[in-house]
Amino acid sequence: MRLSVAALVLLAIHRPALPSRRNLPPVLGFGVAIAGMNVIYPALGFLPLGVASALQSLGPLGGRGGDGTACA
């Protein structure tokens, strides 16, 4: 709710231009990435504390490298 109110206030102060079709894929990609990050945090509440803190502290290092091995 706080984010929605802030967005409305900023929209009232300065109306930004809509992204062009060329810039639409990166804008949608950033939106999906941020939504995905916000979905992860409530799910961490159902994991044991040790697993949840390990996943949170690994962050982007927990992904797979180019050769199929974990980075961390």
Query: Which is higher by pLDDT, 57 or 33?
Result: 33
Q: In which band, very low, low, confident or very high, does the pLDDT at 9 lie, cut at 50, 70 and 90?
A: very high
Angle CA 6–11–13, to nearest 5: 95
Q: Is the dihedral of CA 50, 55, 58, 63 positive or negative?
A: positive
Query: What whole-number distance in Å separates Cα of residue 2 and Cα of residue 43?
Result: 21
Global confidence as pTM = 0.42
Q: For residue 63, how many other CB atoms are within 10 A of its CB? A: 10
